[in-house]
Amino acid sequence: MPILRPPHFLLFLFFIMVSLLSAATMASEDNDTHYDRISLLATASDEIENDILETTLSVQREGNNPSELSEEVNTTIQWAITEAKKVSGVTVQTMGYQTNPVYQQRRLSAWRVRQSLRLESKDIAKLSQLIGKLQERLTVDRVGYRISVQRRNTVEENLITEAIALFQQRSKLVAKQMNRDRYRVVKMNINAGGAPMRPMMMRAEMSAMADTRIAPSFEAGVQTVTVSVNGTIELQLD
């Protein structure tokens, strides 16, 4: 007697066959040889003035009583936060709090407590004055500039338009030189990037300023923002 298969089993076999045929077709297409394909690169860049000043300050104390050290560090950081919040347009963020043992000749000799504070603002003059004030009790670890997200996005959008236009221009030039009237874009990748935040001063210089209680002066400078478009075109036969 013939063996009867349930309908769902036959449907399952059908889907397996369709999947195998689709995979075979895709593999065949991947192995097809394509002619008249050319890779191109177009780049657009612009120098943009940095508009955000960032700084990281810290307070560190060392001694034999970790509780007293922690209280002193916390008090100093709270003072700095209060002073920073008095200045409009300044963003305040507390950072890593650390309590570490200090060893000498493999024996515990002291404790070290440290905490950092990160500030940023678009108002360079105000933040510079604030840094000068906070140097009375904190140490400046790092100062740098960066481009705000809003400004970077606006610049990158303009550069994308410029880079794509240049890519199209070069594609037309290649097609013309190869005696073809038409082309199509097979694939295209758009990449945007720029220089990382640039530190402005060394710690030793900042320490010297702290000794004289002078508010530091900064120049924003510029960063180069670049957008590149790389892709492949295929020249069309008439």
pLDDT tens string 147-198: 999 999 999 999 999 999 999 999 999 999 999 989 999 999 999 876 555 5
Helices (H), the chain: 7-31, 66-85, 124-134, 149-177, 203-212
pLDDT greater at residue 120 or residue 33: 120
Structural domains in the chain? 36-51+147-238 (3.30.110.170), 54-146 (3.30.70.360)
pTM for the complete prediction?
0.65
- Token pair listed for 172: 């037309």
- Are 220 and 125 in contact, with CB atoms under 8 Å apart? no
Residues 62, 99: Cα–Cα separation, whole Å: 10
Higher pLDDT, 35 or 119: 119
